[in-house]
Amino acid sequence: MGEAIESILNQTYGNFEFIIINDGSRDKTQGIIDSYNDKRIKRIKNEENIGLVRSLNIGLRLVKGEFVARMDADDISYPERFEKQVRFLSDNEEVGVLGSAMENVDSKGNHLFFKHFPISHPTIFWQLFFENSVFHPTIMMRNSVIQKIGGYNEKFKHIEDTELWGRLIHETKFANLNDALLKRRVHIGSISSTQSKVQYRLRIELRRRLLKSVLGDNIPEGVPEWFADIRSTLKGNKLKNVRRVLVALYTYFICLKDLTKNDAGFIENDFVEKLGIIDRNSRYIVFRWLFERIKQIFPGGLTYSIKMKFINTFLKGRNKL
């Protein structure tokens, strides 16, 4: 925990208030916190353990600044994290949630690998349907945006970040910096390891809610389950339903007004990859070949209507949602 605290106190951007919440810990945690004498630190000690989500909302009620960042006690922020994030948010007023790439390290701090996320709002939005596209401990948010929606939903324990992104994605723009600004300590006892079954059930509910937000209420049963676990086996009507919804989702995104060529390419490639996961048959192979040929013949890209003609030809049975 000491490394985490020092990584914040040693930021190159120093104008911040540092709220540290001790969630009812009975070990040496409070002693470590109290060992730091810095006027920027505001210490909060819960009399009993109330959990991460409730503690996060307590912290949000105390925030006074324009931006709010967070980090877990096991992680370490790079020295320039706040400086780079504040600069980006100041230069891009439309962005309300900003994350970054991260470096994964083991329990001793040894480098394992870097993890990068999509950087633009449309690609972050697209990937959110399949997996988390913003890593919670790397984020810096506009305080006004998160206060407007009422903070974290305490019913979604262990998956509160994904639930929050699902609400915020319709309220503000998202972005990720491609620079790694945080070291994430990976160990077996993490929440993601110990609460996987709980997380899966909640992911299904969140995927259902997210799909309805862009495609309407007519989402076939079994579809949100696949979006929560895209490696699950599909057969019969369930396969057809997932394929139909996936095509409808691609249709929605390819029509977005602020979609750049790079964004469209990212979404298109991921869309075809997902088709390959659900349907490894001849139609997929031909479809993949067609996309590659189209890119070679028309390097400038094709219009949406022409692309959809190819999709409708090789993905028969698509019904309007």
Report residue 161 CA to chain centroid gap.
8
pLDDT tens digits, 40-71: 999 999 999 999 999 999 999 999 999 999 99
pTM of the predicted protein model: 0.85
| CA angle at 89 for the pair 43 and 258, rounded to the nearest 5° | 140
pLDDT tens digits, 136-159: 999 999 999 999 999 999 988 888
Token output for 186: 């990976």
Say whether pLDDT at 318 is over 90: no
Classified as helix, coil or strand, 139 is coil
Q: Which helix (H) or strand (E) holds 272?
A: helix 261-278
CATH of domain 49-194: 3.90.550.10
Confidence of residue 227 (pLDDT cuts 50, 70, 90): very high
Confidence of residue 92 (pLDDT cuts 50, 70, 90): very high
Q: Fill in the DSSP letter of residue 138.
A: G
Check residue 304 and give its pLDDT: 53
DSSP string computed for 81-105: HHHHHHHHHHH-TTEEEEEEEEEEE
Say whether pLDDT at 306 is over 70: no
Domain map (residue ranges) of the chain: 49-194, 199-314
Answer whether 167's CB lies under 8 Å from 149's CB.
yes
Residue 290 burial by CB count (10 A; 0-12/13-18/19+): exposed, middle or buried?
A: middle
C-alpha dist (Å) from residue 32 to 40, 115, 169, 185: 16, 30, 37, 19
